[in-house]
Amino acid sequence: MSNSAPIGVFDSGIGGLTVVSELMRLMPGEDIVYLGDTARVPYGVRSPDTVRRYAAEGASFLRDRGIKFLVVACNTVSAVGLDEVARHCDVPLVGVIEPGARAAVAASKAGHVGVIGTEATITSRAYVKAINDIDSSVKVHGNACPLFVPLAEEGWTEGEVPRLAAERYLEGLKAHGIDVLVLGCTHYPLLRPMLALVMGKDTSIIDSASETAREVRDTLEKDGLANEAEQGRASFFVTDSPEKFQSVGERFLKHNIKDINKVVLKEVC
């Protein structure tokens, strides 16, 4: 595998751009190929079977782009379909859950960790398993927050509506005495300032996106696969129209987005 091959990033839509943003910051020399399945987003409300079917198609597509490493930047796919991704894309890969789980265990003193995410991610109990594999004494409290994705996409990241929604979703977690809150969905970093406000300053907020980017950098360096080029290129593939991806995506990426291509994913078995 060549150092100059691109890193593949797979997400259900635009949320994974928060991971790309961190990758670009930490590893400016890397080429990145991003796939967002915008014609079928969001995955977080779908059944595990359907998510796995879509994950297989996305993984096959990125495999065919000649990537050296695959980042599954979608919590839902990481939670219920990582094995299916590995089955269809034979390169080293990382999901967003393990890095987030490790950071959460390291940060918690109270031994109570809160995790918020999509319905599919929370129902899968993937964070509970990942955290308890590291430290079985940590109590993990999960809550699905279905309104956070549309709020982030709508750009309503501050003000009364998101604050009241957050208070309602986080009330139960606060009652458990958590001192760490894991953002188990790549849309949620956009709501981070507001979530920090609602949780108060004694709660550490773990952003899976940046933890994952750090792990990608460490792994590529360890394996001698890092690209030391001065400036990498990023190309983007989406399954619905590029226009909306560009306008909403630039808010997530904090960068201009060029080179967006529309593709149809092929069914695989």
Q: What single-letter amino acid sits at 28?
A: P
Residue 70 exposed, middle or buried by CB count within 10 Å (0-12, 13-18, 19+): buried
Helix (H, G, I), strand (E, B) or coil at 142: strand
Q: Which of 1, 106, 164, 263 binds a second copy (CB under 8 A)?
A: 164
Q: With CB under 8 A as the contact rule, which of the stretches 45-53, 65-73, 106-114, 172-180 interacts with a second copy?
A: 45-53
39 near a second copy, rule: CB under 8 A: yes
How many Cβ atoms are within 10 Å of 211's Cβ, its own excluded? Answer: 23
Q: With CB under 8 A as the contact rule, which of the stretches 36-44, 61-69, 132-140, 196-204 interacts with a second copy?
A: 36-44
In this structure, the dihedral spanned by the alpha carbons of residues 210, 259, 75 and 160, taken in order and rounded to 10 degrees, is 80
Are residues 55 and 89 in contact, defined by beta-carbon separation less than 8 angstroms? no
243 near a second copy, rule: CB under 8 A: yes
244 near a second copy, rule: CB under 8 A: yes
CB of 168 to a second copy, least distance (A): 7
CB of 159 to a second copy, least distance (A): 8
User: Is 145 in the active site?
Assistant: no
Nearer to a second copy, 69 or 245 (CB): 245
Count of chain residues binding a second copy (CB under 8 A): 27
| C-alpha radius of gyration, the chain, whole number | 18
φ, ψ for residue 57 (rounded to 5)?
-65, -40
CB of 150 to a second copy, least distance (A): 5
What DSSP string runs through 23-87? HHHH-TT--EEEEE-TTT---TTS-HHHHHHHHHHHHHHHHTTT-SEEEE--HHHHHH-HHHHHH
How far apart, in whole angstroms, are the C-alpha atoms of residue 32 and residue 57? 19
User: Is 269 in the active site?
Assistant: no
47 near a second copy, rule: CB under 8 A: yes
Nearer to a second copy, 53 or 217 (CB): 53
161 near a second copy, rule: CB under 8 A: yes
Contacts with a second copy by CB under 8 A lie at 38-41, 45-47, 49-50, 146-147, 149-151, 153-154, 156, 160-161, 164-165, 168, 239-241, 243-244
